[in-house]
Structure 1
């Protein structure tokens, strides 16, 4: 009878490394969920894509725009005259329409600052919240002009005017918001904008949350802060 075939040699197995002096005294740690499935990295916010369309290169207003501003820098620096609208693609795509005829009628000495101011105002509309479209239009425009004011592009004819309603919009509401920040904290406008995010506009809730008072009370305080003389003057000039 032939001898039995020899057993096949076992595959070599790596031997355990002896513990090092640095790790021998550390307690054993079981694998955790984070070891197996590490948390995904948060992607940075996508930089918006900016496009510029010039309808008529021969127009004097267009020439002034190109002469005075570097378009990409002006748009990037900016979060009848101009307006902002959504595009048919979706609401994440915005268009800013600027009247070159308006630019042409601005004095040469102020053209650059005026263009920058208008662009800053319209860029705010691309980013701000509007309470699902229910916020007062004057508040939306006032926030945009408040940003323009803070950016240093207020036109020389702007002035504080507390006559009429708080939400008359534009610079009137913009100056009111500027006063609010001085009287009730430097982040008031940010809180107002956040309060308009993803919900319908509720006046009493919004203003009391941001400032502790109703907007009517705040407007009366603002009127008082300007003094009766200023109010009488503003009423006379508006008639």
Structure 2
């Protein structure tokens, strides 16, 4: 069967880390980053509905999800989820004070900026009900904030190193987060649909056994 392979996984974990440090969080010095000496990635069978989760420098993928995902796009999906979860490893969370929806939104923002959004995901901006709804909604809102201030997500992440406050939006953008959200909704809500995202990249596959040993380390950065 088609599989991404151990070497690919390790390589992409390193590439994703560099992308996050350099392009998203602007953490050019090790002292600016979270202090993990290594990051482990596991493929596990678990009952939770989550596709993947991360904690303490360890990333867990759902073997069930990967087994069922269309083979044609498996490598892209695997890589996209990896970028999202690597963002969770390296991002600051306000010492646990930040809204989970914002944390999730930042991770999905990283995936989006890496051009690894899920195949078939709509490219029309999503307004949603709340700015901190999480997922693609918050990711696209953060992209809008970044258009107002270049490097906004990097600056916000740095402010979240030790604490969190919604007032950080005011400090960085000159407007409250709710004001920016209303402005974003007004600007984006009436945009016409622009189709659905489909990968135009040719995907090359490596032939190796598929998830043959669940629960063991697949990748180690």
| Correspondence for 2:185 | 223
Any gaps of 5 or more consecutive residues in structure 2? 18-49, 194-221
Return the TM-score normalized by structure 1: 0.62
Residues paired across the two proteins, number: 159
Residues 1:227 and 1:172: Cα distance change in structure 2 (over 3 Å): closer
Out of 100, 121, 134, the residue aligned to residue 169 of structure 1 is 134
Bigger relative contact order, structure 1 or 2, given CA contacts below 8 A and separation 6+?
Answer: 2
Match of 1:185 among 138, 145, 149: 149
Q: Is the CA contact (8 Å cut-off) linking 1:129 and 1:194 kept in structure 2?
A: yes
Q: TM-score, normalised by structure 2?
A: 0.67
Q: Output the CA distance in 2 between the equivalents of 1:158 and 1:120.
A: 19
Distance (whole Å) between structure 2 residues aligned to residue 188 and residue 137 of structure 1? 19
Give the superposed CA RMSD. 2.0
Are residue 81 (structure 1) and residue 51 (structure 2) matched? yes
CA distance in 2, matches of 1:202, 1:171: 22
Once residues 212 and 85 of structure 1 are traced to their aligned partners in structure 2, the CA distance between those partners, rounded to angstroms, is 34
CA contact (8 A) 2:52 2:85 kept: yes
Q: Spell out, residue by residue over 1:103-141, the C-alpha distance to the aligned partner (whole angstroms, 9 max, x if none).
A: 122212211110000000000111111111010001101
- Point out the structure with the larger strand share: 2
Tell me which residue corresponds to 2:117.
Answer: 154
Gaps of 5+ in 1: 1-59, 87-93, 232-239
1:158 to partner: Cα distance: 4.2
Shift of 1:73: 0.5
